Structure 1
Amino acid sequence: MESTYKTLAEHIVRLYQKRQNEYLPHSGNVPTIPRNNNNNTGLNKSSATNGDVRILIALAGPPGSGKSTIAEQVVQTLGAIPFAPKTVSVSIDGFHLPLATLHAMPNAAEAIARRGAPWTFDADGAVALVKDLGSSFGVRDIAVPTFDHAIKDPVAGGQIVKADVQVCILEGNYLLSDEGSWSEIADLVDQRWLVKVDPLLARTRVATRHLAAGIEPSMDLALARTEYNDIPNGEYVAQHSQGRYDLLIESIEEPRND
């Protein structure tokens, strides 16, 4: 998918240049309007004077669609492009509800088994993060929770998004969902990307990941877990993100060289 990563990186460069021009008119006047028409965040005066802005991209897709890889590879590709905007990827995995919270639920057994479903995340926290990222450019750093697979729980402040970051690629299953608090995010970002993947490919990827992470001791059990939890979650993503994207990205399995 090297060509896809390059295309997406070049798209971000063009998008960023266009947004800079919108906020640095030829007259030299400092803009005081919000960053875009979809939210209430604005630019601080010093950043606006330089024509600098922060662009937020929501990258959603089913489990096993390769969201994390796409985000990371696009960031890496941008790093090799002269004068490209400073870009980071931000995973929403840090908003998994802690195991202690799931164990305290009346339906604890189901909550543990279905971890990764929309209702097992702190969606309000994810929305608050997107708002903070949209309003903090040039003002302050933002601490982002991450997910530690070794302890199987979120870690507060595991990532710091510096104030000078110009593009944030947010990646998570439900960022374009039309239900609950998740539904607010599409209107808080500048671009919405959805990843499409063959269900059988996603199934294999997720089961392999479960096995490698030690979540299940055998491929048979890993596949069973995938069928019970991840496949329904993927179907949910496809259904509730329909028509809510600007770019549709097809995830494919690249041939191995060995």
Structure 2
Amino acid sequence: MESTYQSLANRVLVKWEELKTADRANSLSSPSRMLIALAGAPGSGKTTIALQVLKRINNLPDHPKTTVISADGFHFPLAKLRAMPNASEAIARRGVTWTFDGAGVVTLVRKLRDAAGYEAVLAPTFDHAIKDPIEGGLIVDKDMEVCIIEGNYLLCDEEPWREIAELVDDRWLVRVDPGLARERVAARHLAAGIEDTIEDALRRTDENDLVNGRFVMEKSRGRHDLLIDSWHD
């Protein structure tokens, strides 16, 4: 994946230069902010890709000020899931679209575009220790130039998610072998204490995460600018 990470970092730099050139040509009083939507199934390696690209951007000369924002902060809190009429299903299926504040993600992406150069934007984060979101856990400074936003459903052709593709400047979709995704997600569930045995972790992965992954790939088909293949390092 090393060559992929570097290629993506170079892509960001080229597109950022194009955006700056367009801003100068249009005599914009405030510089634009480049937004990248990075989507893919659970276990596709989105977070790793985003962070590795960020690391390489920071090693490039004259790099734009860049940050990574995860849509995980828009998981509904456990308290909200427990208050739902189908609470047991909601908790078991946590990670499916209806356990996310999709409208909140769209609002954040719109704010990131509109507030560039004017004001800071607060974004929620996700605390894996307490397994709940933290409101305002991340501050995106007004001078942040590039935001890589990563999440499962960012490119899905379903309301409210479908609006995001029109708000961003570049759309990356990660493709992964389901067997590798299954292995990664089950190990994650075990490490996070969500399940106590590998058998239970695999069962949860099969019944929820892989189902969600198939949905992501089906609903995101043809809605990307770049298709990234994920594999073992």
Q: Shared fold (TM-score greater than 0.5)? A: yes
Structure 1 runs of 4+ with >4 Å offset: none
Q: CA RMSD in A?
A: 0.8
The number of residues matched between the two structures is 233
Partner of 1:30: 27
Instruction: Return the match for 1:138 from 102, 112, 117.
Output: 117
| TM-superposed deviation, 1:30 | 2.0
In structure 2, C-alpha distance between the alignment counterparts of 1:53 and 1:128, rounded to whole Å: 18
Higher relative contact order, structure no. (Cα contacts within 8 Å, ≥ 6 residues apart): 2
- Unaligned runs of 5+ residues in structure 1 are 32-44
Which aligned pairs between 1:40-189 and structure 2 lie closer than 5 A? Answer: 45=29, 47=30, 52-189=31-168
In structure 2, C-alpha distance between the alignment counterparts of 1:198 and 1:129, rounded to whole Å: 31
Partner of 1:4: 4
In structure 2, C-alpha distance between the alignment counterparts of 1:184 and 1:18, rounded to whole Å: 23
Instruction: Name the TM-score, length of structure 1 as normaliser.
Output: 0.89
| TM-superposed deviation, 1:137 | 1.0
In structure 2, C-alpha distance between the alignment counterparts of 1:185 and 1:231, rounded to whole Å: 23
Partner of 1:18: 18
The one-letter amino acid of 1:115's match is R
Deviations 1:52-106 (A, max 9, x none): 3210000000000000000001011000001011111100000000111111111
Q: What fraction of aligned residue pairs are identical, expressed as a percent?
A: 57
| TM-superposed deviation, 1:179 | 0.7
Q: Who wins on radius of gyration, i.e. which is larger?
A: 1
In structure 2, C-alpha distance between the alignment counterparts of 1:125 and 1:214, rounded to whole Å: 28
State the SS of the aligned residue for 1:77: helix
